[in-house]
Structure formats: structure tokens, C-alpha cells
């Protein structure tokens, strides 16, 4: 039986303290995953629309320092990062426009 033809979109907000956990997961730095569909050998095929220069936390701090973003008025435990991830298998992707 072939893989299910699907597209999964996840949009979630995170607190500053969770940036390291998100980075380890997204960049496939964890040693294991509950999702058995994750193939770490294929991580190089992931598409990044914007890459961080340094860690996620370093990039966040640099953006605050440069005035790109502001945390003024936020509570200490405020959610400060929104993440949107698209997980699309090849059959779905090719049928809907391909990689070009």
C-alpha cells in the first residue's frame, strides 16, 4: 500500500523559552521522534523560506536589538513566535504544480 496522498499544515504560536525545542525539532537535531514517518535522511530536502543566521534564539535576540521586532509591553511568558509548517508528500505536490 502506498503512502497517503496528503498535505498537512500546522500553524502554532510559541513562547521565547520554546525556541530551542522548535529548532531541534524543525532542523531534525533530535535523536528520536514519536512520528514514525519522519526520515531524518531526507532533512536536506526541506525547504526553508527564510533561514536563521545562528540559532532561533540568537536570531530572535538580534531582531530585537536591531529594532526589527519589539517585545515592549509583552508579558514575560507571551507567545512571541508563530510557526507555519507545510508537510506535503511528493504525489500531492507534483499533482498541484510541482517543485518549480
Q: Where are the beta strands (DSSP E) in 3-99?
A: 7-15, 79-88
Q: Is residue 5 part of a domain?
A: no
- pTM of this prediction exceeds 0.85: no
pLDDT in the model for residue 32: 80
Q: Which residues of the chain have pLDDT under 70?
A: 1-5, 99-100
What per-residue confidence (pLDDT) applies to 100? Answer: 64
Q: What is the number of domains present in the chain? A: 1
pLDDT of residue 14: 94
| Any domain includes 6 | no
How far is it, in rounded angstroms, from Cα 27 to Cα 23? 6
In a domain, residue 42? The reply is yes
Position 80 scores a pLDDT of 93
CA atoms within 13 A on the CB side of 11: 0
Domain that holds residue 24: 16-83
Q: Buried (b) or exposed (e) across 33-61, using 16+ Cβ within 10 A?
A: eeeeeeeeeeeeeeeeeeebeeebbebbe
Question: Within a domain: residue 49?
Answer: yes
pLDDT of residue 2: 60
Residue 11 covered by a domain? no
Residue 79 lies in a domain: yes
Q: Is residue 48 part of a domain?
A: yes
Reported as half-sphere exposure (CB side, CA atoms, 13 A), residue 68 has a value of 8
Burial class from Cβ neighbours inside 10 Å (0-12, 13-18, 19+) for residue 64 reads middle
Q: What is the pLDDT of residue 17?
A: 93
What local confidence, expressed as pLDDT, does residue 96 receive? 76
Domain assignment of residue 4, yes or no? no
Amino acid at each position: 500500500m502506498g503512502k497517503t496522498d496528503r498535505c498537512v499544515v500546522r500553524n502554532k504560536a510559541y513562547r521565547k523559552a520554546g525556541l530551542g525545542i522548535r529548532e531541534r525539532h524543525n532542523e531534525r537535531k533530535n535523536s528520536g521522534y514519536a512520528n514514525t514517518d519522519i526520515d531524518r535522511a531526507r532533512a536536506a530536502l526541506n525547504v526553508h523560506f527564510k533561514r536563521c543566521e545562528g540559532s532561533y534564539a540568537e536570531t530572535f535576540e538580534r531582531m530585537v536589538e536591531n529594532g526589527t521586532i519589539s517585545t515592549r509591553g509583552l508579558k514575560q511568558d507571551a507567545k512571541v513566535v508563530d510557526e507555519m509548517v507545510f508537510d506535503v508528500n511528493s504525489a500531492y505536490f507534483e499533482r498541484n504544480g510541482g517543485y518549480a
